[in-house]
């Protein structure tokens, strides 16, 4: 049975509205993607190089965090593609779009913990600002994804903060 008289003017109107902001959503998701990729890389490098009396604890914590970040980065990139956008195409493009400050000494426990916490909080602020704007209002799926991303960044920052000396 085929239903032919479905009235969906509101949904159709939202779809048209969303079509007009897709390129801005693509740009915004790529900005988040660049910062998350940078954060992933910094976390992984710190995981390999951390030294000191909390080596085992921080090595394992950072291992858990980079594994989580891999999934988070992938989710943002895939959502961007689902919306018809292009993801970042090279490391140089990621680097040029990245806004996070690099950790200068990935062997230093205090610098790693503070630096990664700061990065997570910065990305969380970026996501919170996006959610506070009306950019994603016609796209509840991306709103849901960004809310989940925000929750994860805030939790990782909180856990890192708990490891400060």
- Render pLDDT for 75-134 as a digit per residue (tens, 0 to 9): 999 999 999 999 999 999 999 999 999 999 989 999 999 999 999 999 999 999 999 998
- Contact predicate 118/160, CB 8 Å: no
- What does the pLDDT look like over 19-49, one tens digit per residue? 777 889 999 999 999 999 999 999 999 999 9
Q: How many CB atoms neighbour CB 20 within 10 A? A: 9
Averaged pLDDT, 45-65: 95
Return the pLDDT at 1: 47
Return the pLDDT at 110: 94
- Contact predicate 129/85, CB 8 Å: no
Return the pLDDT at 15: 55
Chain-centroid distance of CA 105 in Å reads: 23
Domains of the chain listed by start with CATH number:
19-162 (1.20.1260.10)
Averaged pLDDT, 43-63: 95
- Contact predicate 43/62, CB 8 Å: yes
Task: Find the farthest-apart pair of alpha carbons in the chain and give their distance in angstroms, rounded.
Answer: 69
- The b-or-e profile of 128-162 (16+ CB within 10 A means b, else e) is eebbeeebbebbeebeebbeebbebbbebbebbee
């Amino acid at each position: 049975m085929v239903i032919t008289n479905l009235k969906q003017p509101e949904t159709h109107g939202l779809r048209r509205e969303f079509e007009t902001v897709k390129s801005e959503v693509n740009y915004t998701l790529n900005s988040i993607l660049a910062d998350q990729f940078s954060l992933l890389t910094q976390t992984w490098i710190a995981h390999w190089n951390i030294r000191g009396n909390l080596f085992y604890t921080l090595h394992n914590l950072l291992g858990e965090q980079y594994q989580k970040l891999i999934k988070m980065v992938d989710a943002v990139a895939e959502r961007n593609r689902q919306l018809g956008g292009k993801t970042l195409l090279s490391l140089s493009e990621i680097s040029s779009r990245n806004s996070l400050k690099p950790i200068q000494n990935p062997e230093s426990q205090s610098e790693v913990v503070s630096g990664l916490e700061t990065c997570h909080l910065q990305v969380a602020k970026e996501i919170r600002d996006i959610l506070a704007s009306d950019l994603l209002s016609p796209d509840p799926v991306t709103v849901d994804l960004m809310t989940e991303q925000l929750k994860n960044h805030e939790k990782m920052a909180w856990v890192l903060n708990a490891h400060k000396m």
